[in-house]
Amino acid sequence: MGQAKQKAKLLDVWKSGLSGDEMVLFDAAYKLHNNVIKSRNATGMCYHSVFFLYLHLKEKHGIDSSPVIAYVNDGTDDIFISHAWLEFNGKRTDVSLAVTDPRIGVAGQLIILDRVFKAGHEYGYFREIPEVGLKKNEELCLSGMRTLLERKEKEHHAMLKRVGDDSAIRAYLDAEPNGFNFEKIASLL
């Protein structure tokens, strides 16, 4: 059996162990990554993609998942970057980190329900910035990056406030300046 057939068989075995809700999430996340993020080389979509996926699953399928606004670290330094992913049944789904601007960071893995679907750099996921990251932020502030760090932290807190408020999430999605709102993304799945 060829390698492609072996991979397909392993995927089928994995999918056969999913619940109905997990299968719906898998399908939506996979299409969101391939039809929206990857096909458009859309970088910086972590908040947008997670909020969309959360609302789509809830409104269209009655599936309650959790958008997580937290931090990632690439393991090469002590800088922790605000990031978003979705959790369902204790499993992480991250469809945006696999497509990044190479000037900002290396592309990560495509993860759906804790399974890696596309190889990439293995990032660490953190709910809070650990002490080494806080110290690094202090150093960066002293080196002239205070304005940037304050802007990013303000953005992080604004995203955190939206979690748990579906109308605020919808307003965020529908205010997308390029018309890439909830309905437009839904039409591409």
**Tens digit of each residue's pLDDT (9 = 90 or more) over 96-110:** 999 998 888 889 999
Computed over every residue of the chain, the mean pLDDT equals 93
**Nearest-angstrom CA–CA distance, 81 and 94:** 15
User: Which residue would you say has higher pLDDT here, 87 or 41?
Assistant: 87
As a whole number of Å, the end-to-end CA separation of the chain is: 32
- Residues 6 or more apart whose CB falls under 8 angstroms from that of 74 comprise 105, 106, 108, 121, 123, 124
**Nearest-angstrom CA–CA distance, 57 and 68:** 15
**Nearest-angstrom CA–CA distance, 189 and 186:** 5
- Residues 6 or more apart whose CB falls under 8 angstroms from that of 63 comprise 21, 24, 25, 57, 88
- Residue 5 — pLDDT band, cuts 50, 70, 90? confident
**Nearest-angstrom CA–CA distance, 25 and 153:** 30
0.85 surpassed by pTM: yes
- Residue 61 — pLDDT band, cuts 50, 70, 90? very high
**If residue 10 lies in a helix (H) or strand (E), which one and from where to where?**
helix 3-16
Instruction: Find, among 106, 101, 99, the residue nearest to 123 by Cα.
Output: 106
**DSSP H helix total and E strand total for the chain:** 7, 6
Query: Is the Cβ–Cβ distance between 48 and 173 less than 8 Å?
Result: yes
Q: Residue 114 has what pLDDT?
A: 97
Instruction: Find, among 61, 153, 52, the residue nearest to 95 by Cα.
Output: 52
User: Which residue would you say has higher pLDDT here, 70 or 101?
Assistant: 70
- Residue 3 — pLDDT band, cuts 50, 70, 90? confident
**Nearest-angstrom CA–CA distance, 117 and 64:** 23
